[in-house]
Amino acid sequence: MVQPAISPHDPETYTVEEFCRRHNVSRSYFYEVLLPEGAAPAMTTLGRHRSITREAAAAWRAHWTGRTLPSRPKRTAELR
């Protein structure tokens, strides 16, 4: 198993927005695809605030390296 690389320069935790920006995914993709598919990184929730630890972000990167992330479902033809 690949050990996740953790840099001491990474912040201790990311907000979802910071995680998305740093990993080049949109917030809508995170909430519409990754989270429902169970493909989002592990999160800690305190009240309404979700955070992603640097260890969880590194583990997510290690898990998905060399794999294809889930894609958005194709939209059906719009009704006229």
Indicate whether 6 pLDDT > 70. Answer: no
Local structure of residue 3 (DSSP, 8 states): P
**Cβ-proximal residues to 56 (8 Å cutoff; 6+ apart), any chain:** 41, 42, 43
pLDDT digit string, tens, across residues 22-60:
999 999 999 999 999 999 999 999 899 999 999 999 999
